[in-house]
Amino acid sequence: MEQVLRIENLGHAYGKFKVIEDISLAIGRGETSALIGPNGAGKTTFYNAISGKFPPSKGRVFLNGENVTGLPSHRMVDKGMCRSFQITNIFAELTVLENVLSPLIIQQKKHFKPYGNVFKDRGLMERAMHTLEQVGLAERARQVVSSLAYGDKRLVEMAIVLARDPSVVLLDEPTAGMNPQETENMIQLIQRLAEHSGTTFFITEHDMKVVFSLARKIYVLHQGHLLAQGKPEEIRTNEAVQEAYLGRKSHA
Amino acid sequence: MSLSMRPHLIGPFLLLLVLLFAPLLLPVYWIMILTEILIMGLLAVSFNLLLGYTGLLSFGHGAFFGLGAYTCALLLQAGHQNLFVLLGAGMLVALLAALLIGFFSVRLDEIFFAMITLGMGMLFFSIAHNWLAVTGGSDGLPVFALPVLNLAGREFTFYAPNSMYYLVFTTVLAGIVLLWLVVHSPFGLILRALRENKQRVAFIGGNIQLLRIVAFAVSGSFAGLAGVLFCLFNSMATPEFMHWSFSAKPVIMSIIGGTGVFLGPLFGAAIFFGLEQLIIHFTENWMFFLGMVLIPIVLFFPQGVFGTLRNRFFKQG
């Protein structure tokens, strides 16, 4: 399978404290994968280091075969990696439509174009409405985002992330804070998108139901190290994982 | 397209009509007040591109206004009387200064951004105040000859208050139309996105610092245009334009009028000068009363007078 994201010996330290160390993994195109691990295992640090929030202290990141290690976040997006955040990260006082137009404007390199009404730009509007239809928000296009329900706000972030047709999408706990119905909808949405658009999803999640219904491959992070990786059934039966993580989690 | 199909344009259209015929309706004294309101309105609207649309509080916008004014005064002293050269040169000098100041300040946010722009502005104030040979120091730089405009074989001068009014009216209108285009463009939407959440802009591929520098430069150059006009109107460029207390004026006007509405700051300028004119009839301590007026405005009109009234009576569509 063609590799879309490859990480080599990635490490990050705050001063002397090594948060993550020596992480290597390779994700195939279209292969939904999940990164799991107890709180403090270093998942968010790992995400931040590979998505350009800060450069990693060690190791290399390859995206579509190209070395993108240490690029700032906006360059990372240009290269094809988009991400969501644990805490919903959207443009609160803009409309749903304006939220999804923003990434498209940048993708079409119109972000310094100082004339021409945005809403009359067909190239932008058609793509924007298409993206909103994908996540099921087309009817709410003219609503200001801050007036939406929590689950819909998460969908707005999803639309922002998907708008630019990224080759890899990092989702940091996409169902955190959602009710069971919203969680189920999000799972179905990710499944649908992975099947139809060929987007590669790489998610972190605490909800094991979400992980096992979506991921074809699971990576387990424990105390900054990659403890195990494999297919869901292999991870389920892995003793080290059960000891470190699943065992403790199952009676929670 | 007819106006009945675009109800949101009726207000601006009526305003334009009133401004166009104002010299027939108002005494000369009020025409001069109106001229000043329009110039300061352009300064405030250009300033609000940063505060209201990009989410940056610049406390040094007087520097660009002053640079426009000094550029105009120096060119006139050197004998350049072409109106378009004066307007263009004032904008260009302000633009270059804005690129420079922007380069050093856009990395910072909120109060830090306000303080560094204030400091940079005071740097220019010091130069204007102390470089006697070029700027005339604290006395300022007087202008003895106004530009002439050759248009369609006719020569226009601007010594009469009414012709000065029409010069200012036309230029401010052009400036405001251009800024309106910017605000509604793709660039304008990205600026509002920056105001809402700059981290998200970075994670959709936007270069935050570059976007902010460009916004700062656009805003600064229109402030420079307002400065050129004020120099012509006032027949003088003075260092006070660059003082931080002058830079506070567009801040106050934008807050009075409403930062969330495009023309809000223009109305803020009108209210500011209108109040000043009313109050100085009764007392010299007009700043005291300005304070008294500002407090209820901030309390009862959280989106500015114009913004709050509009949201109250017209639902946004």
CB B183 within 8 A of CB B50: no
DSSP letter, residue B160? S
Q: Which pLDDT value is given to residue A251?
A: 43
A117 interfacial to chain B (CB closer than 8 Å): yes
**Degrees (nearest 5) of the Cα angle A93, A95, A98?**
110
Taking CA–CA distances from B195, the nearest residue in chain A reads A91
* B118-148 core/surface letters (b: 16 or more CB in 10 A; e: else): bebbbebbebbbeeeeebbeeebbebeebbe
Pairing outcome for strands A168-172 and B154-156: unpaired
Q: Give B-chain residues touching A106 at CB under 8 angstroms.
A: 190, 204-206
Strands ordered across the beta sheet of A58-63: A17-28, A3-14, A58-63, A66-67
pTM metric for this prediction: 0.90
pLDDT in tens, chain A (252 residues): 689 999 999 999 988 888 899 999 999 999 999 999 888 888 999 999 999 999 999 999 999 999 999 999 999 999 999 999 988 999 999 999 999 999 999 999 999 999 999 999 999 999 999 999 999 999 999 999 999 999 999 999 999 999 999 999 999 999 988 999 999 999 999 999 998 888 999 999 988 889 999 999 999 998 889 998 999 999 888 888 888 765 554 443
- With 50 as the cut, is the pLDDT of residue B316 above it? no
Residue type (1 letter), A219: Y
Distances (CA, A) of B38 to B18, B266, B286: 13, 7, 21
A234/chain B closest Cα distance in angstroms = 34
Q: Give A-chain residues touching B190 at CB under 8 angstroms.
A: 102, 105-106, 111
CB A18 within 8 A of CB A12: yes
Which residues, listed in sequence order, are joined to residue B142 by a DSSP beta bridge?
Answer: B236
Mean pLDDT, residues B170-193: 97
Cβ contacts of B29 within 8 Å, gap of 6 or more? none
Q: Give A-chain residues touching B201 at CB under 8 angstroms.
A: 74, 102
Taking CA–CA distances from A146, the nearest residue in chain B reads B196
- The reply to whether residue B193 touches residue A163, judged by beta carbons under 8 angstroms, is no
**pLDDT, tens digit (0-9, with 9 covering 90-100), for B113-150:** 999 999 999 999 999 888 888 888 888 898 888 888 88
Q: Give B-chain residues touching A51 at CB under 8 angstroms.
A: 203
- The reply to whether residue B205 touches residue A103, judged by beta carbons under 8 angstroms, is yes
Unique residue bearing structure tokens 């430069």: B217
Q: How far apart are CA B236 and CA B255, in angstroms?
A: 28
B186/chain A closest Cα distance in angstroms = 5
Which pair of tokens denotes residue B159? 């010594």
A96 interfacial to chain B (CB closer than 8 Å): no
- Among A184, A170, A185, A160, residue whose Cα is nearest residue A34: A170
Dihedral of CA A82/A88/A94/A97: which sign?
positive
- The reply to whether residue A160 touches residue B200, judged by beta carbons under 8 angstroms, is yes
- With 90 as the cut, is the pLDDT of residue B279 above it? no
- Among B237, B303, B246, residue whose Cα is nearest residue B51: B303
Task: Report which of residues B304 and B5 the model is more confident about.
Answer: B304
Max avg pLDDT among A211-215, B95-99, B155-159: B95-99
- With 70 as the cut, is the pLDDT of residue B4 above it? no
B267/chain A closest Cα distance in angstroms = 24
Interface test with chain A among B203, B213, B259, B303, by most A beta carbons within 10 Å: B203
Taking CA–CA distances from B179, the nearest residue in chain A reads A114
Portion 38-77 of A in contact with B at CB < 8 A: 51, 72-75, 77
- The reply to whether residue A118 touches residue B184, judged by beta carbons under 8 angstroms, is yes
- The reply to whether residue B188 touches residue A72, judged by beta carbons under 8 angstroms, is no
Interface test with chain B among A73, A76, A95, A144, by most B beta carbons within 10 Å: A73
Interface test with chain B among A74, A86, A94, A110, by most B beta carbons within 10 Å: A74
Report chain B's mean pLDDT, rounded to a whole number.
90
- The reply to whether residue B200 touches residue A91, judged by beta carbons under 8 angstroms, is yes
Task: Report which of residues A206 and B2 the model is more confident about.
Answer: A206
- Among B18, B34, B44, B22, residue whose Cα is nearest residue B306: B44
- The reply to whether residue A73 touches residue B207, judged by beta carbons under 8 angstroms, is no
**pLDDT, tens digit (0-9, with 9 covering 90-100), for B215-258:** 999 999 999 999 999 999 999 999 999 999 999 999 999 998 99
- The reply to whether residue B193 touches residue A114, judged by beta carbons under 8 angstroms, is no
